[in-house]
Every structure is written in C-alpha cells, then in structure tokens.
Structure 1
Amino acid sequence: MNAPVSPAETLRSALATLLDGLPPKRAAQAVERLIAHYRGATPTDAPILRDRADVAAYAAYRMPATFEAVRAALGAFADAVPGWVPKSHVDVGGGTGAATWAVSATWSGGRSVTVLDWAEPALALGREIAAANPALQRAGWRRARIGKDLGLDDTDLVTVSYVLNELTEADRAALVDAAASAARAVVIVEAGTPGGYARIIEARDRLIAAGFHIAAPCPHSAACPIVPGEDWCHFSARVSRSSLHRRVKSGSLAYEDEKFSYVAATRLPVAPAASRVVRRPQIRKGQVLMELCEPDERLSRTTVTKRHGDLYKAARDADWGDAWPPHAQEP
C-alpha cells in the first residue's frame, strides 16, 4: 500500500505544476519586485499582487516558507491545547492560502475554511492550487479589505500570517481586535526580525487584554522578559526547496531556514510548555547548552550533561523552538 502524500509534498507538486507555464525570466523579475516591496517599511492597503504572473511568482517564492512557519506555530499551539480540533478556520490576509494548508497538515478531518484577502488574483490562484488538497476543496475565497472595517464571523480559529507588516498601526490594532472578538483561538505569524517581533508583541498584548491565554511560544501570559531593542524572540523552520523553487529564488541549496516570530493565543484552557528553547542548542563534548524562556518571566541558560542520563539524550535531540523539558521528564 502506498503511503499517503503529505500536504507539504502535495503543495510542492502543485507549485511545480503552476510554474511550468510561467517563463523563468518573468518569474524572476516578479520575485525581485516583491522582495523589494517586502524589504520596505512603508505600509500599504493597496494590493501588491497585480496579476497571475505576480501571484505565481509570489506563491513559488513564499508559500513553502509560510507553510512551514505557520505549521510550526500551529504545532506548538496544538501541543498546548491537546485534544482540541478547530471545526472552522478563517485565514485573514491569506493570499494564496499557505496557512490553510498548514492547518490541514496540523489537524486532520474536515472544517469550514474561509480565506480573506484584498488581491483577487491571489484568491483565484489560491483556489486553483487548493484543488489538489481534499481538505480545501470546499473552502471559500472572499475579497475583503484587511483593516479597521473588517468584519469576521464567529469561528474556532483565525490565522494571520505575514500581514501585519502591510498595515498601518491603526489597522493592525483593528485586525487583532476583530480576530479576538470572533475566534476561540488566534495564531499570528510575522517575519523573524526585530520589527516582526515588535508587531507580534503588540498583538500579544492586545490578545491578553481581550482575555486570551498565551498557548505558545511563551510559557506564560505575563510580560515578555526580553528588553526591547536588545534582542527579539524568533524561531526557525527548515524549508525544502524543489528544483523549480531554487531556480525562482536563485538559490543552490536544497533547503532554506525561514526565521519567524509568532504568538498563539486562545480562550480555551491551556497547558503551555514548562519552558521554551529560544536559541539553537549548542552541543559540546559531553554537554548541551540551552537558552530558555521560563514560566517566571525570565530568560535562563542551562547546561545538560551526561550525568543527567536520558535528559541529556533528549537535550541532544532538542531543537530551537521546542518545549523543554520533554513530556514526562524533569530536569
């Protein structure tokens, strides 16, 4: 019997098919323009993706990385709220729908799905790509301005990925408030930069003020212990590249690391991580050095050595962003 194809593999295949009909030179030009935009700091409420070529280039350039970042955030959220499965999902500013693919990879089963975006070409292409994913074939794709006039129906889960950077401060606040009013759970992902982290903290504060509990990445719902301007909280997701993906991105490696910041919050009871690994563990001879965010609102450094037995083995396998210590073990 053939093993089932994962959503990640299905998405890569769909994107490869999508790029087959797009001249590489045109795709590269569109990617360069999009990179220039996303590196800028000027918010806009105008559609960035102008036509199918733009959207196809964007999908090849961003969808695999967005999918992996959102899937990592959702995985941490699911660990903190075990047994809960969303029955409805609204992806705000979802474009071609990478977050909807990540949700289907995190929780099996059917659910109602709605993608909201202001770029009609992105919605059209997202609908086309989603035909390859059985969990998304009945999804709704709706044009909407993302900002202060956004209205959201009640839903279990709202995702907002790589959207806040495109909004004014007032529209960011309105979007987070609308999500908090409509959803039982909200997951927001931004670029893993100081600016992306600042936007995540801003959203985190608003969600807590609205009565939400932080499920991940923080082990608490109190103030972040990071001093603004001195550091920022971010994580990394490994992204596999197809040959077509490498060509469009002018890359030679078979993978890339997507840096992202996120917050996952809910009105449900949560069991957050005892602590969170906030930097890549350093493996030395006979010891592992780990930097942790602790439940008592502080950052700490700990060293796990061979004398810790099974915990040392777990530390050698621990990755950046993981909960610590592993379930059912104590340091």
Structure 2
Amino acid sequence: MNHPAAPADTLRAALAGLLDGLPPRQAAAAVERLIASYRGATPTHAPILRDRADVVAYAAYRMPATFEAVHAALEALAEAAPEWVPASHIDVGGGTGAATWAVSATWPAERSVTVLDWAEPALALGREIAAANPALRDVRWQRSRIGSALSIESTDLVTISYVLNELAEADRATLVDTAASAAQAVVIVEPGTPDGYTRLIEARQRLIAAGFRIAAPCPHSAACPIVPGTDWCHFSTRVSRSSLHRQIKGGSLAYEDEKFAYVAATRFPATPEPSRVVRKPQIRKGQVLLDLCETDPALTRTTVTKRHGDLYKAARDAAWGAPWPPADDA
C-alpha cells in the first residue's frame, strides 16, 4: 500500500524541483544578498525579493528551517490542547507559506487558509509550491502591507513567523494586538537570538494583556523568570540541509540546527506542561543535568542520577524544549 509523503518531504521535493532550473551560482548569489533581511520592512520601497530567481533561491534556503521551527511550536500547542483543531488559519507575513505547510503537518484536516504578505513574487511562488500539497490547493494568497494598517478577519489560528524582526516597534505592537483581536490562538516564532527573544517577550505580554493564556512553551502565564539582559529563552530543531545550504555555508553535514523562540497562546482552555527543558541537557557520568522552567514560575536545575532508575533513562533521552517529566512519570 502506498502512503502519501509527509509534508516536510513533499516540501523538500517541491523546492528541489524549483532549483533544477536555476544555475547554482545564481542561487547562491541571491541567497547571500538576501540572507540578512528577508522581505525587509513591509515597505514603501520595492520589495527586497525582486523576482522569481530571488524567491526560489531564498525559499529553498529558508523554507525548510521555518517549517521545522513553526511545526515544533504548533506541535507544542497541539499537545497542550489535544482536542482543538483549527478550522481556519491566517498566516501573517507568510511569504511562500512555510507556516501553512507546518499547520497542515500538525492538523491534516481541511481548513480555510489565507497567506498575507507584501512580496508578490513570494506569494506567487508559494501558490506554485502549494500545488504539491492537497491540503493547500485552495489557499488564498493575498498581498497586504504587514503593519499598523493591517486588518485580519476573524479566524481560529494566526501564525506570525520571522516577521516581528522586520517591523518597527509600534507596528509590532499593533500587529500583535490585531492578531489577538481576531484569533482564538496565536503562534509567534522569532529567531533564537537575544533580540528575537526580546521581541517575543513583548508580544507574549501583549497577548496576556489581551486575555490570552500561554499554552507553550511556558508552563505558566506569569512574567518570564529570566532577568532581562542576563539570558534568553530559545529552542533548537534539526533541519536537513540541501545542496544549496552546503554550498552557501560550506561543510558536508547533512543537517543544521535552527535556533528559534516561540510562544503559543489561546483564548480557549489549554494545559501547559508542568515544566519544560530550556537548555540542551548536560549528560555526565552517571547523571544528567536538566535546566527547567517550572510552573512557579522559576528556573531550576535538576540533577537526575542512576538512582532514579527509569527517570534517569528518560533524562538521557530528553530533548531541548521537551516537557519534563515524561508523561508516564508525571
């Protein structure tokens, strides 16, 4: 019996097919020119993605990583609210639609989907790629300025991924407030950098002020226990590297790790995890050190040793970003 390919595999195949007609040197040059700022601030000047070659190169380079980061955030939301399935989705600043692919991978059911973005070449390519995914063939690709004048229709889910870094502070605040007024759930993903975390915490605070509760990654809806300027909360997900990735970055590894920060917030009941691993576990002889964010809220370090039996085995397998303790031991 033949089974349909997973969305991630289908996406990679679609992107590889697009690159077949683009000279490798041209693709690499486009990515190197665009990598510092994708789309720019929803502009009064011409979009930074100038033509199809630009968009193909950048989509092949960035879509897989964006997909994996957003998918990780959505999976955490699905675990916190297992009975909820969004019937409608608006992807703000979605470009070529990586977040729509992530939503379809998390909840395979059909739904109404709209992608809003300023760059027409990105929307056109997103529509072309989506033809490979039956769940995305009826997506509405709409050109919109992503800023203070943006209007969002009422919807179950709004995703905003790698967008806040492109906006001025006032526009970021307005966008988050607009999403909060329209959606039952909002998922925001930013780069896993100190600046990305700062933007995310600002958005998190606005969502809470608008009446949302935090479903993930935080075990609570209180203020983040990290002292500003001392650290930042972020996570990591593994991404398969294409030949274009290897050409741009050098080296021969078949993967790279995408660092990202995220928040998933809801207006409906959700059950956050009791605690979450917020750093890569440190495995030492006979013990595992786990840095946890807990319900209190508080940041703690827990040492799990061989004396803990099965819990020790679980700690050795624990992943950065995973809930703790495992469900069977909670």
Query: TM-score with structure 2 length normalisation?
Result: 0.96
SS of alignment partner, residue 329 of structure 2: coil
Give, as a single letter, the amino acid of the residue that structure 1 aligns with 2:85: V
Count matched residues.
Answer: 327
Residue 109 (structure 1) shift: 1.1
**C-alpha distance in 2 between matches for 1:249 and 1:24:** 14
Residue 44 (structure 1) shift: 5.7
**C-alpha distance in 1 between matches for 2:23 and 2:248:** 10
**Unaligned segments of structure 1, at least 5 residues:** none
Q: Map of 1:59-138 to 2, 5 A cutoff?
A: 59-138=59-138
Residue 305 (structure 1) shift: 1.2
Inter-CA distance 251–188: structure 2 relative to 1 (3 Å threshold) = farther
SS of alignment partner, residue 323 of structure 1: coil
Residue 171 (structure 1) shift: 0.6
SS of alignment partner, residue 203 of structure 1: helix
Give, as a single letter, the amino acid of the residue that structure 1 aligns with 2:8: A
Give, as a single letter, the amino acid of the residue that structure 1 aligns with 2:310: D
SS of alignment partner, residue 145 of structure 2: coil
Give, as a single letter, the amino acid of the residue that structure 2 aligns with 1:70: V
**Unaligned segments of structure 2, at least 5 residues:** none
Give, as a single letter, the amino acid of the residue that structure 1 aligns with 2:119: A
1:171 matched to 2:171? The reply is: yes
**C-alpha distance in 1 between matches for 2:48 and 2:266:** 31
Aligned to 1:273: 273
2:180–2:210 contact (8 Å) kept in structure 1:
yes
2:24–2:244 contact (8 Å) kept in structure 1:
no
Residue 173 (structure 1) shift: 0.7
Residue 247 (structure 1) shift: 3.1
**C-alpha distance in 2 between matches for 1:110 and 1:173:** 31
Superposed CA deviations along residues 213-235 of structure 1, whole A, max 9, x for unmatched, are 00011000000000111100000
Query: TM-score with structure 1 length normalisation?
Result: 0.96
Superposed CA deviations along residues 94-124 of structure 1, whole A, max 9, x for unmatched, are 0000000000111111011100000000000
1:241 matched to 2:251? The reply is: no
Inter-CA distance 27–238: structure 2 relative to 1 (3 Å threshold) = same
**C-alpha distance in 2 between matches for 1:23 and 1:108:** 35
1:27–1:248 contact (8 Å) kept in structure 2:
no
Residue 134 (structure 1) shift: 0.6
Superposed CA deviations along residues 122-179 of structure 1, whole A, max 9, x for unmatched, are 0000000000001100100000000111001110000000000100111101110110
Residue 83 (structure 1) shift: 1.3
1:60–1:248 contact (8 Å) kept in structure 2:
no
Residue 273 (structure 1) shift: 0.7
Aligned to 1:193: 193
SS of alignment partner, residue 60 of structure 2: helix
Aligned to 2:316: 316
Aligned to 1:26: 26
2:188–2:262 contact (8 Å) kept in structure 1:
yes
**C-alpha distance in 2 between matches for 1:306 and 1:62:** 41
SS of alignment partner, residue 175 of structure 2: helix
Inter-CA distance 285–159: structure 2 relative to 1 (3 Å threshold) = same
Superposed CA deviations along residues 2-57 of structure 1, whole A, max 9, x for unmatched, are 3431000000000000101111111111111112336xxx8563522111111011
Aligned to 1:153: 153
**C-alpha distance in 1 between matches for 2:251 and 2:64:** 14
Give, as a single letter, the amino acid of the residue that structure 2 aligns with 1:270: A
**C-alpha distance in 2 between matches for 1:244 and 1:28:** 7
Residue 249 (structure 1) shift: 4.8
Inter-CA distance 249–58: structure 2 relative to 1 (3 Å threshold) = farther
SS of alignment partner, residue 148 of structure 2: coil
Residue 248 (structure 1) shift: 5.0
Inter-CA distance 44–108: structure 2 relative to 1 (3 Å threshold) = closer
**C-alpha distance in 1 between matches for 2:225 and 2:263:** 15
User: Cα RMSD over matched residues?
Assistant: 1.3
Aligned to 1:54: 54
**C-alpha distance in 1 between matches for 2:104 and 2:62:** 18
Residue 270 (structure 1) shift: 1.1
Aligned to 2:262: 262
1:306–1:312 contact (8 Å) kept in structure 2:
yes
